[in-house]
């Protein structure tokens, strides 16, 4: 199956950990119905992640990434850089995503186009809102996602509503 998915990862009760979920929700507010990409809230799909990943040709992951950078800094990984990436895990679910990507690699079903956009978290304590520094980075995450998806041919300028 030739699916194009933006998978927002995270946990919205741990402030900046919820970056991916906030980003997918914000993208949904901007994308028209004709956009050639599925937006998936990764906090809701659980055990369906392996099936979802192995059906993709294009997969964009969005998540908080602890890369020991300045809080709010945009971080990107491409293709095979993501699969073995063990550093920067902010939460236990990221181990699951790493395992899913490793499994897809072993099965020869790793998406041909694989990219991760993240932000260095500032606050991972309990709370629903992103920290001010990470919230300020959300427009840059959306911009990078829009550029990437347009380059992949998944979006046109008409697909993104202001």
pLDDT at 132 over 90: yes
CB 19 within 8 A of CB 142: no
- What is d(CA 69, CA 123) in angstroms, rounded to the nearest whole number? 13
pLDDT at 90 over 60: no
Q: What is the pLDDT of residues 54-83, one digit of tens each?
A: 889 999 999 998 888 999 999 999 987 876
Please report, for the domain that includes residue 112, its CATH number: 3.40.50.1450
pLDDT value of residue 88: 47
pLDDT value of residue 5: 93
Q: What is the pLDDT of residues 15-53, one digit of tens each?
A: 999 999 999 999 999 887 767 899 998 876 666 778 888
Concatenate the DSSP letters of all residues of 75-100 into one string: EEEEGGGTTT--TT--SHHHHHHHHH
Beta-carbon contacts of residue 159 (< 8 Å; ≥ 6 apart):
31, 32, 34, 35, 36
Q: State in Å, rounded, how far the first CA of the chain is from the last one.
A: 31
- What is d(CA 84, CA 110) in angstroms, rounded to the nearest whole number? 13
- The domain in which residue 106 lies consists of 3-159
pLDDT value of residue 92: 47
- What is d(CA 54, CA 132) in angstroms, rounded to the nearest whole number? 35
Q: Which residue has the tokens 């979920």?
A: 21
The mean of the pLDDT values for the chain is 85
Tell me how many domains the chain contains: 1
* Between 130 and 49, the higher pLDDT residue: 130
pLDDT value of residue 66: 87
- What is d(CA 55, CA 4) in angstroms, rounded to the nearest whole number? 9
């Amino acid at each position: 199956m030739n699916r194009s998915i933006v998978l927002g990862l995270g946990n919205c009760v741990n402030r900046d950990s919820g970056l991916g979920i906030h980003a997918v929700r914000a993208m949904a507010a901007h994308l028209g119905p004709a956009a050639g990409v599925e937006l998936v809230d990764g906090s809701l799909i659980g055990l369906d992640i392996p099936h979802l990943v192995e059906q993709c040709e294009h997969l964009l992951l969005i998540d908080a990434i602890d890369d020991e950078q300045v809080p709010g800094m945009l971080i990107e990984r491409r293709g095979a850089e993501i699969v073995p990436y063990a550093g920067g895990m902010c939460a236990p679910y990221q181990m699951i995503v790493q395992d899913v990507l490793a499994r897809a690699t072993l099965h020869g079903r790793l998406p041909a186009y694989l990219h991760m956009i993240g932000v260095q978290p500032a606050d991972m304590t309990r709370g629903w809102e992103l920290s001010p520094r990470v919230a300020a980075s959300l427009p840059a995450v959306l911009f990078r996602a829009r550029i990437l998806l347009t380059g992949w041919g998944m979006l046109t300028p008409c697909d993104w509503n202001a």
